Structure 1
Amino acid sequence: MIRLASVNVNGIRAAMRKGMGEWLESVNADIVTLQEVRATEDILVPLVPGWHVLSDEATAKGRAGVALLSREPAVAHRTDFGAVDFDSKGRWLEGDFEIGGAKITVVSTYVHSGEADTPKQVEKFKFLDAMNERMPQLREHAEHVAIVGDLNVGHREFDIKNWRGNRKKSGFLPSERSYFDGFFGEGEVEAIDGVTRPGHGWADVGRRFAGEVDGPYTWWSNRGQAFDNDTGWRIDYHMVSPALAASVEHYRVDRYPSYDTRWSDHAPVVVDYNI
């Protein structure tokens, strides 16, 4: 059994001050992926004693940043992603692990938040294009692969409480959701924006496990009473290869008991894989 947890920490130093350390020790995970670390490795490592740490810092200091924490060291890792002229630093980190005789490749990823009709959205589409290219390669690299983290897109109407009011905003644009139709589809996929895409056949563990229901949400705005009213977005995913999807034993979102006990605006996602 491998327990894999993922969370956008919204700044590791602030998260640790607010109580993340207690969760990290109690979750009993084999691998934990972090997004939006916003700290250099020399700051991160002392904050997580007892863990082997891989990290990829963003080009801009204090921005983005992804990491992989593991109880056993990775046997290999990679950060190459996308075209040579594309800056993906701090947003894509692959690690190969062997745990109890089982092999798994885990990707910690932080997709751009984007902003409709701006250069930020162009960068987001470049990232999604690079994912589209990399996913088949990962399937060839390993049988059990998990791309996990903050993908910053709500794929379906179930994934956003106020989906009607967000149809023209980054995170729920048809042109973004179209990629996810391809990621999770089979064969030739007629995507929501009318584009025909090749289906990659990966599994959305959260949606498979929860079924056709609203949520469970993983991010809530700090504005108003979004958390208290559960007006959230499900934008943190475990997107896994078919072989790994067949091994899922349990999925959960570690939603905080109350607004004032949160240590991030995202909640951790925890999945048990029986491989």
Structure 2
Amino acid sequence: MRIISLHVNGLQQAVEKGLYTWLQSAQADVVAIQGLLAKEYQLPDSVVYPDGYNAYFFDAEADNYSGVAILTREVPKAIMTGLAFPQCDMQGRFIQADFDHVSVGSILFPAVDEHNTLEDKLAFQKSFLEHLNKTRRKRREFIFCGNFEAAHKTVDLADWQSHQDTPGFLPEERAWFDQMFGPAGYVDAFREANFGENQFTWWPDAESARRNQHGWRKDYQICTPGIRQFVVEAKLDTNLRFGDHAAVMVEYEFDED
């Protein structure tokens, strides 16, 4: 199963720039998309019905804000939206597709902006970690893909010394990752197969920062520990120009039943 996660900063403009054409060549089984910046009913059919995929959307209540989607080759057993806390559900931040033995979610964490304070972001982290702990008790595997709006380790951020007081790399945000990858038991799927440096997924000043590798790794695929052994390849496509994020591409080779 090839899974791609991508934050697009506006789905319609990304499609107009060739997103769906690129997906045909990328041959993903599941695509987790964040940052729709539009409600489903506002999008043209060419965006809502991509060739070769079943598309599912979860909108924010506010206009031109947030929103997530998941595209699947195989029709899922079920689609779930929201995580039962208002900050997630009102802002359109989570959608999940359930297959026979694995569920794949697309998640968009809040940034510190005009809609959310740092306290709001930390509250979201706390609520999502509670959800992760609950999913560990279920008899299936999970993969959560998306923009976590933070970098975990110093290797995940260029010039990290200058950003220790910057939202996205604050000690309390990084400690949350330690909890997720520690006591909660989740796995950074990308790092299971890719140990390279300068593996950045977002650049604050897109073109010059990309050239100079002044980026952050904000986009992750995390999974339950039972999936760790099935991660065989992980890479980024940093050449895309659908937004200011790279595509995170992870290949999972599950056993055939």
Fold match (TM-score > 0.5): yes
The equivalent of 2:66 in structure 1 is 64
Alignment RMSD, CA only? 1.8
The equivalent of 1:236 in structure 2 is 219
The equivalent of 1:143 in structure 2 is 140
CA drift of 1:22 comes to 2.2
CA drift of 1:139 comes to 2.1
CA distance in 1, matches of 2:244, 2:38: 17
Partner-residue secondary structure (3-state), 2:136: helix
Kept in 2, the 8 Å contact 1:5–1:269? The answer is: yes
CA drift of 1:91 comes to 0.6
CA drift of 1:250 comes to 0.7
CA 1:52–1:224: 2 relative to 1, 3 Å: closer
CA distance in 2, matches of 1:230, 1:87: 32
CA distance in 2, matches of 1:86, 1:110: 11
CA distance in 1, matches of 2:184, 2:73: 31
Any gaps of 5 or more consecutive residues in structure 1? 186-198
Aligned partner of 1:254 among 211, 229, 237: 237
Q: Deviations over 1:202-223 (max 9, x none)?
A: 1112223222x53311111236
Kept in 1, the 8 Å contact 2:193–2:232? The answer is: no
Give the counterpart letter for 1:69 in structure 2. Answer: L
CA 1:54–1:142: 2 relative to 1, 3 Å: farther
Q: Report the count of equivalent residues.
A: 249
Q: Deviations over 1:114-172 (max 9, x none)?
A: 26xx9521211121011111002222234321011100110000000121111111100
CA drift of 1:243 comes to 0.9
CA 1:19–1:179: 2 relative to 1, 3 Å: same
CA 1:13–1:86: 2 relative to 1, 3 Å: closer
The equivalent of 2:186 in structure 1 is 202
The equivalent of 2:104 in structure 1 is 106
Kept in 2, the 8 Å contact 1:132–1:183? The answer is: yes
Partner-residue secondary structure (3-state), 1:228: helix
Partner-residue secondary structure (3-state), 1:220: coil
CA drift of 1:21 comes to 2.2
Partner-residue secondary structure (3-state), 2:213: coil
CA 1:224–1:35: 2 relative to 1, 3 Å: closer
The equivalent of 2:38 in structure 1 is 39
Question: Is 1:156 paired with 2:153?
Answer: yes
TM-score by length of 1: 0.85
Output aligned runs, 1:81-230, within 5 Å: 81-83=83-85, 85-88=86-89, 89-98=91-100, 103-114=101-112, 120-185=117-182, 199-211=183-195, 213-222=196-205, 225-230=208-213
CA distance in 2, matches of 1:206, 1:215: 13
CA distance in 2, matches of 1:228, 1:80: 37
CA distance in 1, matches of 2:221, 2:177: 13
CA drift of 1:224 comes to 6.7
Any gaps of 5 or more consecutive residues in structure 2? none
The equivalent of 1:76 in structure 2 is 78
Kept in 1, the 8 Å contact 2:192–2:231? The answer is: no
Kept in 1, the 8 Å contact 2:156–2:200? The answer is: yes
Question: Which structure 1 residue ranges, 4+ long, deviate > 6 Å from structure 2?
Answer: none
Give the counterpart letter for 2:161 in structure 1. Answer: R
Kept in 2, the 8 Å contact 1:65–1:91? The answer is: yes
Give the counterpart letter for 1:201 in structure 2. Answer: G
Q: Report percent identity of matched pairs.
A: 30
CA drift of 1:79 comes to 2.0
CA distance in 1, matches of 2:93, 2:52: 24
TM-score by length of 2: 0.91
Kept in 2, the 8 Å contact 1:157–1:163? The answer is: yes
